[in-house]
Chains A and B, each alone.
Chain A
């Protein structure tokens, strides 16, 4: 395989993994369920996007690359709708968001 493609793929995969790490750290550190949803719907989804891109550039056929890229919108749709359901349920259950002024530790 072309070395340039391999390097590009490796870089994309590592960026993706970094976003996953950020998502997990956010999940562990953020104060309430709403803030945690932010990390899962944004950081993790972008992480998956980069992983898929990294695998798509080294796919052996164009169709395989298309197939990989097809997965991303599906997962996005799933995340957005499930996250809406969770946020709505949390709001219904009366879980108040923890508010801060931007300086709290």
Chain B
């Protein structure tokens, strides 16, 4: 079929993916791929990769896979950001074509939120939540692996768009009718909708999983009010995910139907209602920003209390404020579009609800400060990120309140003031929190510390780079610069500030390089954590050796108070006083290839639907159904870990008596 091949070539490789820089990246990817294949084959790692990683259901290994994905995506999103800043540094430049610029800001936003921040958060959930509550795994280990592979294949589907077919280009919010076929005929937006639907299914399942885990799997004695704050934040985030993701999935699916099957939910013609999409999107989108930050409130609560060597101040108030944020966050979504003519009563209501949500958030800030008050503050890297977070987040929150003032928002909407605000809270809150958690729990995940000196270099570069990048953007907003502008005329007075901002972005790029160097160096030469409790921690995960054995706890601990491990240490107890007769056989989940295959099948579905290659999509669907059926009738989903194995493992760690 010679006539078929040119068609295929033009569909898969249109001119938009044949820019010189993309061709260069193609070449690099192919070379790296061949190199990796060669390395894996030469060192005979394929079996190891399959048995130990691709089929694993162990929450600790899933955490590592989430973490790797998140850092790779941080790199991709960061490169996008550097490209954007390069384009914007000077007026009327053409660093790249306009069409490519539109793709780059779209992928930057989408990747940073859905494929960097979310998996990074899930990496922390998976790494420590079961350990903190004294459990051997999450409630549904197999679903946990499915969540990961759905996310991973969603991310892969989204990321191949820039080499095959063309990237989405409608912004991370993908407002219709611009996403309709009339304005956007390429496959890019199909990629966006399908990748987010697939990854979103994984996220929803993670929400279910961790909600059940935190509710049902806690060790005896760990009542709700004795849970570590990070576990509270996990529980609340999971509840948020559970109710926030369905509107997103609906909105994405309806947009996809408009594109693939000719419906007109949101189209320009035939009575489409684009504003309905906007409502659905932000009905998800506002809880989403709290999904992105509440887990880090949990991380900060752990970090500040550990490194101030002091109890968390006002624990009940922290819980109440987090619950208040959870409920209020469902009632503020219209503040993302005060300028869509919702009328004064609606706008005033949502302005007030937005201000209301600032109160519990402010309360938390005071509680963190008073946790340090009367403590002994150790300036480790994890604590430095916490200390950077407080002032940064307060300023970000203050600009958020300014945006909540409805008439002021008429001026700020879609301007660089808004851009500066949300980077201020997302980088200052989410990214600093993620890195704080990374440095804090790294020894627990990998058995060695990240080098503190190198970590401090990366921290200061991030912190200084952040402020140099985003302070000018607040001012640019006041000068009337709006978001997603490809370029701007001379004479608006925007270029000085843009140059400064780009300079700051370069510093943040250097910070990323320093971070990766720090990680690689520490993996090779880092100080081993032999005690399992390098920070003099307070919660149960520090009672275990680092890295944690497969079964986590040889004997499930009994909890009598908050900060259970701290209290045990005060009483001179530990979990290392195990007697041989304490150890019993343990039921553990069995590894399974189903989650990986399910993810791969969904990838095939997504790819087929993106290009409307229906036979491929149907093959994928068959794969999905087979995986689900097989999983449903697979009763051999666990195995017994013999007590002898556990005894010898514990003995080798020096934790067995007699």
A interacts with B: no
